[in-house]
Amino acid sequence: MKQKLLIFTFLILIGVLLVGLNAASYTQKEKVPDSEFNPNRSTFNSGATGTQAFYTLLSETGRKTVRWQEPPAALLTVKNGPAVFVVTGTVKREFTEPEIEELLRWVSNGGRLVLIDRSPVTELLTTTANWQVSIKGNETPELFTVDASDTKQMTAETTAMKPAQPTIYTQGVNAVQPSRFAGSIMFERFIDNGTSKKVEDLPPPPKAIKRVDPPDEIRFDAPPPKRSDRIYEMPSPTPVQLTPIGDTVESPSQMAPVVHFSGADKNLVVNMPFGEGEIVLLSDPYIVSNSGISLVDNAQLAINIVAAGDRVIAFDEYHQGYGKDTNRFLQFFAGTPVVAIFLQLALFIGLVFFSQSRRFARPVPEPEPDRLSKLEYVSAMAELQQRTRAFDLAIENIYNEFRRRVTRLLGLDNFKTKSNEIARAISERAGLDASSTAATLHECEEIIRGASTNKKQVLRLVGELRAVEQKLGLVRAGRTKI
């Protein structure tokens, strides 16, 4: 028990020492300002590149919003799930192939996927129409040096964009202000067995009907020309191979991507069909960021592309690093010395348990316990002496012990003091008869020297010695003084 107490005390001292050392050596890291080179588009981020203002705006205007912290597979199973799923900016956790397939299946069932980024996940830039969509980024070296919170630097030499046509996404929007790094949405049409060409490179459509007139010479006496004499040549159009992108629906849609905002040779907002749902692309996350949402009509455009009536709008936080796979304990104490202290204590306790189960020296045989108690020893010796009738040996053991204890009590020398002197000292101390006491002691010494004795005499002498001990107060351990 004492050893365990020492171990626990030592562990507590080590823990206190670790806490002290970590607290003394801890220096709080300065918060690095947001930058467009390494942005954080999470709705939890209140910095310049975050989208917390956008999320708060939707919540305070009565719209149902939720921070989605589960894999996309949950979209297919949850009841009364989201109608809009928003993925903003570069994700911290990459989309896996099963997640992309599940997300596109949810879109094809009628959901709306909103992608807000200059270079979103390529596999999500797809449509069931006969078109291929891509985004041409505008990443320049200024991304490393520009201040994301400075509106003038972010929008330098960039004019506002007007709506390309009246749609539900342009309703109430006169103009939007993108950043200088906004990407451009490009789309190409599939023709000729899956090959693609840009829209402006497609040849003009052929004339519908080409009429060939009959000869100028007409004979009036000739019978009227037959209907087949008038020749109408129908053009042979180039066959178009419809190759849908994505295998969620059986056949491609006849609808094409629709441009809602464009300007300066850039398409900023485009939506495209995918099954029964749609995918909306916004090629500049600066419009919905905390720094840019207050410019011009950026806030109204942001609301329009995610508006879903009374349905839920889900913001993808799972791929921003938040979710079930993240250790909430370590995440809560991130940036503090608590994480280091916890890991060090766990390592130290593990080493203690490991050392307890290891042998660091040669094996030592276990000591054999003494299975014979003192009482058993005394009983065995008494039985041996009784059977051998060694009464003189019994008197010798008892008398020598009696003499040693009495002389120590009376302050006499056990080896030099004679029995008569001991008897007088006992008489003075206990008030006993000195002559009878001296006779008892003398008789015991004679038996030790070899005089004959018997059991009866031995029992009498032992009784007299015990009586003297009681008078002197020499009570043995375990006995009560009478």
Q: What is the pLDDT of residues 239-288, one digit of tens each?
A: 333 334 344 444 445 578 899 998 878 899 999 999 999 999 999 999 99
> What's the Cα-to-Cα distance from 243 to each of 106, 188, 248, rounded to whole Å?
21, 12, 13
C-beta neighbour count of 23 within 10 angstroms: 12
Cβ pair 117, 144 in contact under 8 A: no
Mean pLDDT over 11-28 rounds to 70
pLDDT at 328: 58
Please give the sequence-ordered ranges of beta strands (E in DSSP) within 39-130, or none if there are none: 64-68, 84-88, 112-116
Share of the chain above pLDDT 90, in %: 32
Closest CA to 185 of 233, 243, 257: 257
- The structure's pTM equals 0.56
The answer for residues whose C-beta is within 8 angstroms of residue 355's C-beta and 6 or more apart is none
Banded pLDDT at 10 (limits 50, 70, 90): confident
The answer for residues whose C-beta is within 8 angstroms of residue 103's C-beta and 6 or more apart is 72, 75, 85, 95, 113, 124
- Copy the structure tokens of residue 284: 């500049």
Which residue intervals of 260-365 are DSSP H helices?
A: 298-306, 328-332, 338-356
Q: What is the pLDDT of residues 145-158, one digit of tens each?
A: 888 889 999 998 88
Comparison of pLDDT for 373 and 379, the residue scoring more: 379
> What's the Cα-to-Cα distance from 155 to each of 46, 54, 151, 177, 372, rounded to whole Å?
20, 19, 6, 8, 97
pLDDT at 29: 56
Task: Report the distance separating Cα 52 and Cα 34, nearest Å.
Answer: 13
Task: Answer positive or negative: Cα dihedral of 409, 412, 415, 421.
Answer: negative
Banded pLDDT at 390 (limits 50, 70, 90): confident
Q: What is the pLDDT of residues 149-201, one digit of tens each?
A: 899 999 988 899 999 999 999 999 999 999 999 999 998 887 644 555 454 44
Comparison of pLDDT for 53 and 11, the residue scoring more: 53
Lowest-confidence pick of 135-144, 220-229, 331-340? 220-229
Q: Highest-confidence range of 150-159, 169-178, 211-220, 468-477, by mean pLDDT?
A: 169-178
C-beta neighbour count of 305 within 10 angstroms: 21
pLDDT at 167: 92
Task: Report the distance separating Cα 185 and Cα 165, nearest Å.
Answer: 16
Comparison of pLDDT for 171 and 11, the residue scoring more: 171
Q: What angle do CA 154, 158, 162 make, to 5 degrees?
A: 120
pLDDT at 201: 46
- Cα within 13 Å of Cα(39), Cβ side: 27
Indicate if the pLDDT at residue 23 is higher than 50.
yes
Q: What is the pLDDT of residues 300-338, one digit of tens each?
A: 999 999 998 889 999 999 998 887 655 555 556 666 667
Comparison of pLDDT for 480 and 334, the residue scoring more: 334
Comparison of pLDDT for 359 and 78, the residue scoring more: 78
Cβ pair 104, 248 in contact under 8 A: yes
Indicate if the pLDDT at residue 25 is higher than 70.
no
Comparison of pLDDT for 365 and 460, the residue scoring more: 460
- Copy the structure tokens of residue 344: 């060090």
The answer for residues whose C-beta is within 8 angstroms of residue 458's C-beta and 6 or more apart is 391, 394, 395, 447
C-beta neighbour count of 279 within 10 angstroms: 24
**Which amino acid makes up residue 212?**
V
Banded pLDDT at 299 (limits 50, 70, 90): very high
**Tokens 């101390």, residue located:** 429
Task: Report the distance separating Cα 314 and Cα 257, nearest Å.
Answer: 24
